[in-house]
Amino acid sequence: MVKRVLVLGMIGLVLAGGLARAETKKAFDARMRWWRDAKFGMFIHWGPYAVLGGVYKGQNSAAAEWIMNEDNIPAAEYEEYARQFNPVQFNARAWVDLAKAGGVKYIIFTSKHHDGFAMWDSKVSGYDIAEFTPFKRDVLKELAEACKQAGIRLGFYYSIMDWHHPDAAGERFAAYRDAYLKPQLQELLTGYGKVGVLWFDGEWIDDWSEGQGAELYSFVRRLQPEIIVNNRVGKGRNGMQGMSLDKSSAGDFGTPEQEILAQGSAAMDWEACMTTNDSWGYKKADNNWKSPEALIHNLIDIAAKGGNYLLNLGPDAEGLIPEAGQERFREIGKWLKVNGAAIYGTRPLPEYREGENIRYTRSLDGKTIYATVLEWPGKSLRLKYIEPKKKSKVYLLGRKSALTWKANSRGEVVITLPALLQRAANRPCRHAWVFKITGRQLPVAAAPLISTASKTGVVRSLFTDSEQVTISAPSDGAEVHYTLDGRTPSQNSPVYTAPITLTEAAEIQAVALEKGKVISPVTTAQFSRTTRIKRLTLEKSPSVKYPGWGELGLVDGRQGGTDYHESDWIGFEGESLDATIDLGEQKSISSIRLSCLEDQNSWIFLPSSIKLLTSTDGATFVQTAEWKGETSPAGTAATRETALIIMPKSCRYLRILASNVGVCPSWHKGAGGKAWLFIDEIIIN
């Protein structure tokens, strides 16, 4: 699946943040405090689907917890599997012990998944583990007890969508909601002590609405005022994406699924829920476990972006957690024992990283910075971003004595790593290492924000004739100084007072000063000018996750590389590219090339066809050329293809239609799901 990356401007964004309801920011912050500090949670998907384990009638299914839907198992037949659910090995203590060993601070447990089966003794229905199965026990009660003893917060996943209840879709939905869903939630919120989180899901069904979500949110908060509720309570999510588009929509935090945001900030609450192998529920055939190192790196990356990591396990039908999953949690816990200070209770910095292999967090009070390196740096480590004070000390977590460091002429920190540590066996841990830098040295102030009329927080922009740029100061008392030639701004650079009109390419750098002292990191934005075309319009919007550099990025003379994470690529989810280009005047064109990405393992496919239409008046278009799709071998990954259309023609307007294949083909594990089309660069000659 595409590792979804969302590029977000630091402002203008979004979030579910408790702002729309009658709660002050202070009260909201207090309620969110434990969750923001926790950083690491364990998701547990467990229900009757574990009985099937991803196998239906002897066939491996594409699904695990989705098997009822995926394999069209009628409710009456699914019930037969549910009746066999007898997880005699279930031991809440053992699960919670594992959570403890893994260093998680909270557990989110599927009280009821889409299949509608309740994992507690529900009086509202007989379709639950205590009544419907030979097992007879109340799993939630036992888990709640074990969590309480261990000091781990417990939260409940609850699916609004319900494939079992006859009223849960269609005209009688309100009856299901009022006589079933809400009474069940009432049980969950009154019978199991303090519930940390209500984690809704399945809210995308047509019967659900933002209004019902807002009402349900209040209902839940009334029963447990301190509880934290995810944004899937309402309809705020942008499609199946994790983050809410509108901050007035219900819910306290965003829920990117199988996705780490490209950029977080201290101003948004988000939690990446991700699987340890490829499935949420237990699936016998799924042995595709992520390496402990990859999981630890995810945790570090997420914490650096201010998010939480909710990592999943799917126990089997006996009640046992697969050994491979257990090992991974233990390995993460081992790492956290040494390095937890860099994760728990931390907050993100304005710059979350340096290069690919260094991630930053800071202590809540801002007095300590943690630089976590994902790869052993060798004999010395150079940190460009932070400026230590003379009295600052640098430690490698897990080692007592301070390390030697000095500031080089550029004000960067250079830390010397003793010879002893060059041997892996002598290091305090594996997988990633934390350098702790003490003594309030950080540029924790937010950086100035560079914006254009169309975009807040521009990093790179292309314009045709001229562009008006505004720069805003990160705080009220601050003065912004800037340069236009790529040099580092200082006290002596011009002070920003009014919007700047660019008519030529420029690199703007801006910094905030207070009382003549630099108080922020430098913000840089690149502006390029393009004259090759007059206008490019897209009929269909690209995905907000992969916006590229906007439509002009398609003709900026730079082609995307082989990695779809690169910001050059524009991605279309299930949609096609339909671009109209106005060349500004009648021109003679000899060829058009379109550069596309193919990365089938990430659900990215070449277009099925590319059509080219031309026009002299912008009204009547005639088809001029067509490229028929090629088929690559199944599984082709990360290859780039360039479709060439030779087309001697004189015209002013071009219309390019590159058709998305639409859905993932049948051989693909994502069969039936939306396929991606990635384009960067339309090359006109």
Q: How far apart are CA 284 and CA 319, in angstroms?
A: 14
Under rule CB under 6 A, residue 280 binds ligand H79: yes
**159 versus 509: smaller Cβ distance to ligand H79:** 159
Q: How many CB atoms lie within 10 A of CB 464?
A: 15
CB within 8 A of 626, min separation 6: which ones? 609, 610, 611, 612, 645
Q: Which is nearer to ligand H79, 299 or 369 (CB)?
A: 299
- Cβ-Cβ contacts under 8 Å for 657 (sequence gap 6 or more): 576, 577, 578, 609, 610, 611, 612, 613
- Residue 438's φ and ψ, nearest 5 degrees, are -95, 165
Helix (H, G, I), strand (E, B) or coil at 558: coil
Indicate the residue among 38 and 161 with the shorter CB distance to ligand H79: 161
CB of 304 to ligand H79, least distance (A): 23
Closest distance of CB 200 from ligand H79, Å: 10
Tell me: does residue 115 bind ligand H79 (CB under 6 A).
no
In the complex, what is the shortest distance from the CB of residue 103 to ligand H79, in angstroms, rounded to a whole number? 21
Q: Where are the alpha helices (DSSP H) in 286-417?
A: 292-304, 323-339
Helix (H) or strand (E) holding 123: none
Based on CB atoms, which residue is closest to ligand H79, 3 or 33?
Answer: 3
Site string for ligand H79, 234-263 (x = CB under 6 A): -----------------------x------
201/331 with CB nearer ligand H79: 201
Q: Which is nearer to ligand H79, 140 or 473 (CB)?
A: 140
Instruction: Provide the terminal-to-terminal Cα distance of the chain, rounded to the nearest Å.
Output: 35
Q: 521 with 647: CB under 8 angstroms?
A: no
Site for ligand H79 in 616-675 (CB under 6 A): 673
Residue closer to ligand H79 (CB basis): 277 or 372: 277
Q: Is 16 in the site for ligand H79 (CB under 6 A)?
A: no
* Residue 273 sits in the site that holds ligand H79 (CB under 6 A): yes
Shortest distance, position 278 Cβ to ligand H79, whole Å: 9
Q: Are 569 and 577 in contact (CB under 8 A)?
A: no
- Give the nearer residue to ligand H79 in terms of CB position, either 197 or 446: 197
SS3 category, 312: strand
DSSP class of 201: E
CB-nearest residue to ligand H79: 63
Angle at 229 (CA atoms; ends 225, 235), nearest 5 degrees = 130
How would you list the strands of the sheet with 467-472, edge to edge? 449-452, 467-472, 500-502
Nearer to ligand H79 by C-beta: 310 or 525?
310
CA neighbor of 512 nearest in space, from 282, 328, 654, 350: 350
**Number of residues counted as binding ligand H79 (CB under 6 A):** 10
* Least Å from the CB of residue 152 to ligand H79: 20
CB of 307 vs ligand H79, minimal distance in Å = 15
Considering beta carbons, is residue 574 or 629 the nearer one to ligand H79? Answer: 574
Count of residues making up the chain: 685
The type of residue at 138 is D
Minimum distance, C-beta of residue 383 to ligand H79, in the bound complex (Å): 37
Phi-psi region at 26: left, alpha or beta (left = phi > 0; alpha = psi -120 to 50): alpha
Q: Enumerate residues 45-84 that contact ligand H79 by CB under 6 A.
A: 62-63, 65-66, 70
Shortest distance, CB of residue 228 to ligand H79, whole angstroms? 16
CB of 456 to ligand H79, least distance (A): 31
The torsion defined by the Cα of 77, 80, 82 and 87, in degrees rounded to 10, comes to -150
β-bridge mates for residue 626, sequence order: 611
Angle separating helix axes 92-102 and 323-339, nearest 10 degrees: 40
Could you tell me which of 19, 175, 130, 148 has the C-alpha nearest to residue 93? 148
- Specify the 3-state DSSP secondary structure of 189: helix
Structure-token pair, residue 593: 């090339």
Kindly state the smallest distance separating residue 563's Cβ from ligand H79, in Å: 24
Question: Looking at beta carbons only, is 62 or 223 nearer to ligand H79?
Answer: 62
In the complex, minimum distance from the CB of residue 227 to ligand H79, in angstroms, rounded to a whole number: 19
Cβ 404 vs Cβ 415: under 8 Å:
yes
**Complex with ligand H79: residue 110 or 614, whichever CB lies closer:** 110
Cα angle 346, 347, 348 (rounded to 5 degrees) comes to 130
Min dist CB 280 to ligand H79, Å, is 4
What is the token pair recorded at 71? 């394999």
Per-residue x/- track, 190-219, ligand H79 (CB under 6 A): -----------x------------------
Q: Taking the complex as a whole, how short is the minimal distance between the CB of residue 409 and ligand H79, in angstroms?
A: 50
**570 is a site residue for ligand H79 (CB under 6 A):** no
Which is nearer to ligand H79, 115 or 681 (by Cβ)? 115
Binding site for ligand H79 (CB under 6 A): 62-63, 65-66, 70, 201, 257, 273, 280, 673
